[in-house]
Amino acid sequence: MSNSRREFIKISTLGTAGVALGAKYLYSEVIGDAPLRFPASEGSLRTPTYCEVCFWQCAGWVYKNDSGEIQKITGNDDDPHCNGRFCPRGTGGVGMYHDEDRLKTPLIRTSERGKDTFREATWDEAFDYIAEKLKKIAAEQGPECVALFTHGSGGAHFGHLLKAFGSATISAPSFAQCRGPREVAFITTFGDIIYSPERTDIRDTRCLVLIGSHLGENMHNGQVQEMSDAIDKGATIITVDPRYSTAASKSKYWLPIKPATDIALLLAWINVLIENEWYDKEYVEKYTTGFEQLKAHVQPFTPEWAYGITTIDPNVIRETAREMRNASPAVIVHPGRHVTWYGDDTQRLRGVAILNALLGSWGRRGGFYNPEKMKLPDYPVPPFPKPNRMPQDAYQGKYRLANEVVSNGLCDATIPSVERECNIRAWIVNGTNLMAALPDQQKTIDAINALDLLVVVDTMPVEITGYADVVLPECTYLERYDMIRQSPHREPNIALRMPAARPKYNSKPAWWMAKQLAGKLGLEAWFPWNDLEEVLDWQLKQIGSSLDEMKRMGVKKFPRSYDDLYFAPGEEVTFNTNSGKIELYASDLEAEGFAPMPVYTPHEEPPEGFYRLNYGRAPVHTFSRTANNPNLTDLMDENTLWVNPKVAKLWGLKTGQYVKLKNQDGKVSTFAIKVRVTERIRWDSVYMVHGFGHNNPRLSRAHGRGVNDTELVTRVHVDPVMGGTGMRGNFVTFVTDEPTDGKEAGS
């Protein structure tokens, strides 16, 4: 109503002059050309990129409209990661570029940490500030005391800088908060990791078993596409999830497991396969060791035993095991990706690995293929100085099976302690919002408070930038070059990211920052080029391509060096394990003093009046990365709290009502969350999508919307094998006495 009134006033004030103007407008609008308002034609120039909205890195094309503004992004048909189709987040990636809340210029802190008061600085000032502190730390305690936390493409550039500086203290939350346990479990079992994109041959599988992998909500593109192909081809899908996930709704069998009991189910499945001799005998005999020990180990773990623990009907356990057997070897017991749940995650993933071994799916069509990667030679630079201390020294003696650096281990090593000769004194944080990524926020804050320097490289003003001493604004992936994507797949392939537009504001690409900083630190020798185009062109020419060619193609595929996508029938295979075989009985776990075969240990259950805090993904968001994206917040601007109707009745909760949450340690959520009463969740848990509840007021769309699950994850169950942070052992209750109405100001 008010709108049309405004309209009217606008029109009536046009007055007589307006009539003339209006007539002209009418003429051009009406008598003039186009009868329909259509978007810019596709003929406009397109530039290649690969997506940075998540770590699947789909390759695509960026289109601009007639006024030169970035208009849309579509998938590259030749790209095996996306097959010409981006996921909603990638399609909405344009919003990252257009977001008016972006970091615009370097910032230097003017008050205490966490207060978010900065002054604008020039790039030169910012680099001088950083370089001075880094030099001081290097002189006093060695360059190893400078750590890099990174997620995403910028890691290559800052990693290069750090190595030149003399530090190997580099870590990503994508290990100890994410994939770590599965990689360790699969190395232990098969001598190789799962990689990203996952080497799962879903396209050709006949049975896909998803254990807490919520594909369809987890939008890792290639897998979602292949799951759909599998549905088309009539594959059986079995989903194990306490929540009725989207994937569960597409499944022939949904096993609504009691949370934290998956190891019992896995043991029972192994038991059924062995007891009924449903395993792939030839495969097991030829490729594995430890079968007899395994057989003896699982003998007591019958489906009836598991029923008492998991609440899954024993007949369903048998039936689903039979489905797997029938499909074998074209069966995938999916290892999942974010698997740091309860602290015994490596052991759970060992159970998954063993099942796959028994079903003979590793190295077989429809199971796990052998990926190959096109490796580009590195641009020639002098050898890096050898660090005196390795990052692993920081958590001496622990997590020796971890094949990557444990981020929370570095966090621990930042907090001064008498046991360590030195602690980490500076962090460079690139493309990871540690306040949302690392559980136990208080520990992260303690570590930050112990730092001499915190540099944050980001595109958005998120929580971690609020703690920074220096904030460096990176331009978005749509405005920059990055290293060539070289990821493993069925066919080796590479993809180019190039700028579609000039960086907005005073933002710069990571490679430029790294090179400038190197200059200030006297490390020019490792950056002997003028710009990244030079590096890329040189690298591409070594493999018979060129930057020009890649600008045209975006993606280039190469033939495999061997025809070894799957094992050949009867092929002799040596696995990269201690025994050279698939280890059903894990010798390296045993050597480290851990159980060589998985055992089920009960986990704590929610206390009276509390509910297990479960979390996951929404298809239109990537963690906190997209929380302020105008295109994507348009579809979902807050998370909701899934509550079972029985629980809702007990507490008098209604859909749409806002509540705060309090966890077992008395931690109350900063903001309130909207209740969604739904049958899709059990009565002992509540569920929310991770990545909301931002408290940085500079995020105009995300601030105060929903609850941040991370702040409620104060209790962490660290996986003793590899240091992963189990985050699903936290319990919350509803705070309904404080009246709240969603978005709150302040704090």
- Among ligand SF4, ligand MGD, Mo ion, none, what binds residue 51 when CB lies within 5 to 8 Å by partner kind? ligand SF4
What's the CA gap between 568 and 13, in Å, rounded?
81
- Among ligand MGD, Mo ion, ligand SF4, none, what binds residue 596 when CB lies within 5 to 8 Å by partner kind? none
The answer to whether residue 178 forms part of the interface with Mo ion (CB under 5 A) is yes
What is the closest distance, in whole angstroms, from the C-beta atom of residue 91 to ligand SF4 in the complex? 7
Q: Which of residues 635-694 bind ligand SF4 (CB under 6 A)?
A: none
What is the closest distance, in whole angstroms, from the C-beta atom of residue 636 to ligand MGD in the complex? 10
The answer to whether residue 221 forms part of the interface with another protein (CB under 8 A) is yes
The answer to whether residue 614 forms part of the interface with ligand MGD (CB under 6 A) is yes
298 versus 456: smaller Cβ distance to ligand MGD: 456
What is the closest distance, in whole angstroms, from the C-beta atom of residue 236 to another protein in the complex? 14
Planar angle of CA 183, 601, 314, nearest 5 degrees: 95
What's the CA gap between 540 and 532, in Å, rounded?
12
Site for ligand MGD (CB under 6 A): which residue of 178, 272, 448, 732?
178
Site for ligand MGD (CB under 6 A): which residue of 222, 259, 351, 363?
259
Biggest CA–CA distance in the chain, Å, is 96
Which secondary-structure segment (H or E) carries 605?
none
Only segment of 225-233, 236-244, 557-565, 654-662 that touches ligand MGD (CB under 6 A) = 236-244
Q: Which residue has the tokens 């705060």?
A: 660
Q: Are 76 and 84 within 8 A, CB to CB? A: yes
For residues 46 to 85, the per-residue mask of contacts with ligand SF4, x marking binding by CB under 6 A and - elsewhere, is -----x-xx-xxx-----------------------x---
What is the closest distance, in whole angstroms, from the C-beta atom of residue 373 to ligand SF4 in the complex? 17
What's the CA gap between 591 and 568, in Å, rounded?
33
The answer to whether residue 724 forms part of the interface with ligand SF4 (CB under 6 A) is no
Site for ligand MGD (CB under 6 A): which residue of 147, 263, 457, 536?
457
Q: What is the DSSP string of 189-240?
A: HHSS--TTTT-B-GGG-SEEEEES--BTTB--HHHHHHHHHHHHTT-EEEEE
* Cβ contacts of 307 within 8 Å, gap of 6 or more: 313, 314, 317
Site for ligand SF4 (CB under 6 A): which residue of 219, 540, 589, 659?
219
Only segment of 169-177, 266-274, 498-506, 544-552 that touches ligand MGD (CB under 6 A) = 169-177
CA distances from 397 to 143, 388, 593, 645 (A): 22, 17, 12, 48
51 versus 523: smaller Cβ distance to ligand SF4: 51
How many other C-beta atoms can be found within 10 angstroms of the C-beta atom of residue 264?
27
Residue 683: name the closest of 144, 311, 328 by CA. Answer: 311
The answer to whether residue 625 forms part of the interface with ligand MGD (CB under 6 A) is yes
Q: Which of residues 311-350 bind Mo ion (CB under 5 A)?
A: 338
How many other C-beta atoms can be found within 10 angstroms of the C-beta atom of residue 246?
18
Site for ligand SF4 (CB under 6 A): which residue of 76, 167, 189, 221?
221
Q: What is the DSSP string of 364-411?
A: STTSB---B--PPPPPP-PPPPPPSS-GGGGGTTS-TT-SS--HHHHH
* E strand residue ranges, 422-551: 426-430, 453-458, 470-473, 485-487, 493-495
What is the closest distance, in whole angstroms, from the C-beta atom of residue 715 to ligand SF4 in the complex? 30
Q: Which of residues 548-587 bind ligand SF4 (CB under 6 A)?
A: none
What's the CA gap between 299 and 320, in Å, rounded?
19
Bond preceding residue 197 cis, omega within 30 of 0: yes
The answer to whether residue 338 forms part of the interface with ligand MGD (CB under 6 A) is yes
Token output for 610: 């509390």
318 versus 728: smaller Cβ distance to ligand MGD: 728
Token output for 288: 């594995």
Planar angle of CA 622, 628, 629, nearest 5 degrees: 75
Task: Catalog residues that contact another protein under the rule CB under 8 A.
Answer: 1, 4-5, 7-8, 11, 22, 25-26, 29-30, 35-39, 42, 71-75, 84-88, 91-92, 94, 215-217, 219, 221, 224-225, 227-229, 231-232, 244, 246-247, 249-250, 254, 256, 619-620, 630-632, 634-637, 644-645, 677-683
Task: Catalog residues that contact ligand MGD under the rule CB under 6 A.
Answer: 52, 54-55, 89, 151-152, 154, 173-174, 177-178, 211-214, 218-220, 240-243, 245, 257, 259-260, 262, 336-339, 341, 430-433, 436-437, 439, 457-460, 462, 474, 476-477, 614-617, 619, 621-625, 690, 709-710, 713, 727-728
